Amino acid sequence: MFSEHPDGVPLQANPHRQSVLSDSGRWARLHPHHPLHNGKQITAGTKRINVGGKHMCNLLKELISYRQLNLLEETYACNLIKEDVCFVSTSFYEEMELAKKKDPSVLCEYVLPDFVNIHRGYVKLPDVTDDPDEAKKPVPTKEQIIRLSLERFTVPEILFNPSDIGIEAMGLTEAIVYAIKQCPVNMQPHLYNNIVIIGGSSKFQNFKERIIKDVRSCAPDEFNINVYRPEDPIVEAWKGGQLLAGWPGFQNARVTRSEYEESGSTVCAKKLYDSIPVGNT
């Protein structure tokens, strides 16, 4: 909830800001969508989906291990592969057809780290040669290489269609639209016009474009759709914590152990939103 708008203005610091904050993090169950009005969270519109970056990493491990090389114990390496080569498809079935044809735009080779000579994996660039016979000859190498094609876009697709891995839940875009529709009707045009995406998963290629495309198909035609992504969305949650810690009313929002044991997590939300004023930092 405490985050900065891409123009540098903290979302909580602008009393007239209305926005939807979508946090797409790594760990499971960390995809909350918070509608904000006058710096306050609209609780009725808060929605969380139980799919995260960890699910994507696990799926990628299973796909690679089943088709090529056992990487079930190589979480670190698979997470790097996910970050380096995966992208969000804006036209899923067209991408599938390209993958079937082994199109170079989808197919890529990835060099795995051996942690002796290669400490971090990387995408292997194709060898360019004018001789077609030379291009067909296998090049001797000691590198451990895997080939990736449809895995590159089917893995991030579970963010938008969790049912692909058997999770009965709405996708990320559906959750954004759901969160907006739970808000008062007169606020909804402003929320559609100010969707902020943060978290590591939002750095996927075409992630922002996919959000715009899917939300546009669900929103009324007369509403404008704008999606903002900060320059470094990974640290945006940390910046929010920094803003929160420096807030004048933060001392009054602290919860003691006895209060938490008596009332649970509800007392955290109550004291936080009641104690912290909306104002400029």
Q: Encode pLDDT of 1-45 as tens digits.
A: 444 444 444 444 343 467 787 888 765 444 455 566 555 666 666
Cα 193 to the center of its chain, rounded Å = 19
State residue 112's pLDDT score: 92
How many C-beta neighbours within 10 Å does residue 266 have? 9
| Nearest one of 136, 139, 218 to 172, comparing CA atoms | 218
Looking at residue 138, the DSSP 8-state letter turns out to be P
| Nearest one of 199, 152, 191, 186 to 49, comparing CA atoms | 199
What pTM does this model have? 0.80
- 3-class DSSP assignment, residue 181: helix
Reported as a pLDDT band with limits 50, 70 and 90, residue 281 is: very low
Higher pLDDT, 275 or 219: 219
pLDDT tens, residue by residue, 252-270 = 778 888 988 888 877 877 7
Reading the block at residue 82, the tokens are 């996910």
Three-class secondary structure assignment of 74-116: CHHHHHHHHHHHCECCCCHHHHHHHHHCCCCCCCEEEECCCCC
In 170-256, which ranges are E strands?
Answer: 195-198, 227-228
Q: Are 17 and 9 in contact (CB under 8 A)?
A: yes
